[in-house]
Amino acid sequence: MERCVDEIAYCDENLETGLKAKLQNVLDSEYKIMTYSDVIEVLQKAISDGHKFEENNVVFGTDLGTEHERYICEVVNNAPTFVTNYPKDIKAFYMKQNDDGKTVAAVDMLVPGIGELVGGSQREGDYDKLIQRCNEMGINPEDLD
């Protein structure tokens, strides 16, 4: 923020009023960490309490939409939020499976005003597990050469 004072002021005045405050909030916030399972529970409770999302069918295995991501980081946490341990069935075959056999070592960073800003994952390094996962997903490993 110190290196781009003029640019941020311009954007705040001409493009999005309040942008500087939003950026400062991202910088000053203590980032939160939630598991995907916890996010699903929070969203289900919000729905049962009457909150309306465009997509209200939120269960384990649902790929989170922007509306869900923004609700978590804007309403629930009012801070950037890392969501970890996504279901393996909605992620790529090469992501490392967690010991529970249901989730993978994946993370998304959610920020207010946007939702998902960046994502990442640990990659599976065991060749046999990669082949097994390809077979589970109907991917011919020979097609990957």
Q: What's the pLDDT band for 39 if we cut at 50, 70, 90?
A: very high
Distance CA 78, CA 112 (A): 7
Q: In this predicted model, what pLDDT tens digit does every residue of 69-78 receive, in sequence order?
A: 999 999 999 9
- Which of 42-46, 93-97, 101-105, 140-144 has the weakest average pLDDT? 140-144
Q: Which domain holds residue 74?
A: 31-144
Please check whether residues 110 and 136 belong to one and the same domain.
yes
Please check whether residues 35 and 88 belong to one and the same domain.
yes
Q: In this predicted model, what pLDDT tens digit does every residue of 40-90 receive, in sequence order?
A: 999 999 999 999 999 999 999 999 999 999 999 999 999 999 999 999 999
Domain count within the chain: 2
Please check whether residues 61 and 41 belong to one and the same domain.
yes
Residues in Cβ contact with 57 at an 8 Å cutoff, skipping those fewer than 6 apart = none
53, 66, 69, 109 from 117: Cα distances, Å: 20, 10, 10, 6
Please check whether residues 39 and 66 belong to one and the same domain.
yes
Please check whether residues 13 and 46 belong to one and the same domain.
no
Please check whether residues 22 and 41 belong to one and the same domain.
no
